[in-house]
Amino acid sequence: MPILRNAKKALQVSKRKAKVNTPVRSRLKTAVDAAKKKAEPSNLSNAFSAIDKAVKRHIIHRKKAARMKSQLAKKASSPAESAPKAAPKAKAKAAKAKTAKKTTKK
């Protein structure tokens, strides 16, 4: 426990900020996880909104937010997620016709 008066006040402020910031951080994590699992437009919109609100409250740095948004957008626009491609069929190789070896008499 803090002994000095200013340390006691700092502890109170820290607890108060933690109480306010915890729900915002929790919402951010759940929204980003949902967007990572399923990159649907509604999930991305919720994740971007949660990221922006966390930046506004100084919970995460704005450059980290930009990086997170970029990664989510990249995952959403990847062609593997939106339209899975069929595996290319293996082409059968044509068998060479066997020819008899020419023999010469000596």
Residue 37 in any domain: the answer is: yes
**Torsion sign across C-alpha atoms 48, 53, 71, 67:** positive
Per residue in 1-44, pLDDT tens?
899 999 999 999 999 999 999 999 999 999 999 999 998 999 99
Q: Could you give the CA distance from residue 56 to residue 68 in angstroms, rounded to a whole number?
A: 15
**Token pair recorded at residue 8:** 């006691």
Domain of residue 37: give its range: 23-78
Residue 71 in any domain: the answer is: yes
Residue 42 in any domain: the answer is: yes
Residue 74 in any domain: the answer is: yes
How many domains, the chain? Answer: 1
pTM (2 d.p.):
0.68
DSSP secondary structure, 11-62, as one string: HHHHHHHHHHHHHHHHHHHHHHHHHHH---HHHHHHHHHHHHHHHHTTSS-H
**Token pair recorded at residue 20:** 């306010």
